[in-house]
Amino acid sequence: MHALILVDLQYDFMPGGALAVPEGHEVVEIANQWMSDFELVVATQDWHPPDHQSFASQHPGREIGDLIELEGQAQVLWPEHCIEGTDGAELHAELDREQIDAVIQKGTDARIDSYSGFFDNGHHQATSLGDYLASRNVDAVTIMGLATDYCVKFTALDAIRLGLKTHVVVKGCRGVELESGDIQRALEEMQAAGVVLL
Ligand code: VGL
Ligand code: ZN
């Protein structure tokens, strides 16, 4: 079975949102088109408690974009985003929900971030995504969504690590690009790990 994984198509990552990804909204329509070709569609949802330690607001004296260490992992500090239960954490309303079989939340532990849909950034805890895909006999995944240089990249790298054939739809992703070239570097890193770029 080959599943489509839609990464973090939430309002806070859309233009106007708290952690806006340029052109992020363009992915919603592309996702709707791709979904009909897959028997199994899973969406991830960044879902943080209000005191999540990836928020710059939790670190007095630090600013958005600063790099700190969290639970032994390098951590970029972000604006408050995708706080559980808020409008910004909702999946985009134009996403065709009827075609989505499961929504997997991540980033729910305040102490550590979780860019990947499969594991937190330290690979300490798994989400339910890996078991869910295994229960459906998924051996290949196609991934698209937001953001290319964070959650798409780490979801794809973990998919490879779990032994899944992994494809990324480049035109179905948009990146944060905190530093110029981050998107291109992320694509190269994925490809080097065995991800097939479509
Ligand atoms: C993401 C930064 C923080 C993402 C989530 O979805 O790529 N990026 N949280
Ligand atoms: Zn987040």
* Ligand 1 neighbour 154 (Cβ under 6 A): no
Domain 2-49+80-197, architecture per CATH = 3-Layer(aba) Sandwich (3.40)
For the CA of 149, the closest atom of ligand 1 is 7
Single-letter residue type at 12: D
Backbone φ and ψ for 55, nearest 5 degrees, come out as -85, 130
Residue ranges of domains in the chain: 2-49+80-197
Q: Per-residue confidence of the chain (198 residues) as pLDDT tens digits?
A: 999 999 999 999 999 999 999 999 999 999 999 999 999 999 999 999 999 999 999 999 999 999 999 999 999 999 999 999 999 999 999 999 999 999 999 999 999 999 999 999 999 999 999 999 999 999 999 999 999 999 999 999 999 999 999 999 999 999 999 999 999 999 999 999 999 999
Q: Which residues surround ligand 2, an ion (CB under 5 A)?
A: 46, 107
pTM over 0.95: yes
Q: For residue 186, what are its two tokens?
A: 């992320």
